């Protein structure tokens, strides 16, 4: 049986990442507050945010 894939709205993803980065919520607290089932999902969002931030910093430092 294939696992169910849940999609979250962009606003939820942004809110979760920002709350964790700002130290307002721990990962597990954010999962509970927003009803997120998988820890891997949140970790993937955090990694993507980190990558996108790095790319933006590189763009601004080269211009």
State how far the Cα of 14 lies from the Cα of 48, in Å rounded to an integer.
Answer: 11
Average pLDDT (23-47) is: 97
For the chain, how long is the longest CA-to-CA vector? 50
* pLDDT for residue 61: 85
Q: Is the alpha carbon torsion for 47, 49, 51, 53 positive or negative?
A: negative
* pLDDT for residue 24: 98
pLDDT digits (tens, 9 = 90+) for 4-26: 788 999 999 999 999 999 999 99
How is the chain split into domains, by residue range?
10-62
> pLDDT confidence of 63, banded at 50, 70, 90?
low
State how far the Cα of 40 lies from the Cα of 24, in Å rounded to an integer.
Answer: 20
Average pLDDT (19-37) is: 97
> pLDDT confidence of 49, banded at 50, 70, 90?
very high
Instruction: Enter the tokens of residue 3.
Output: 């696992």
């Amino acid at each position: 049986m294939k696992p169910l894939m849940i999609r979250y709205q962009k606003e939820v993803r942004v809110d979760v990442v920002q709350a964790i980065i700002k130290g307002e919520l721990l990962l597990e607290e954010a999962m509970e507050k927003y009803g997120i089932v998988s820890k891997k999902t949140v970790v993937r969002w955090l990694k993507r945010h980190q990558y996108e931030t790095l790319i933006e910093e590189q763009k601004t430092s080269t211009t």
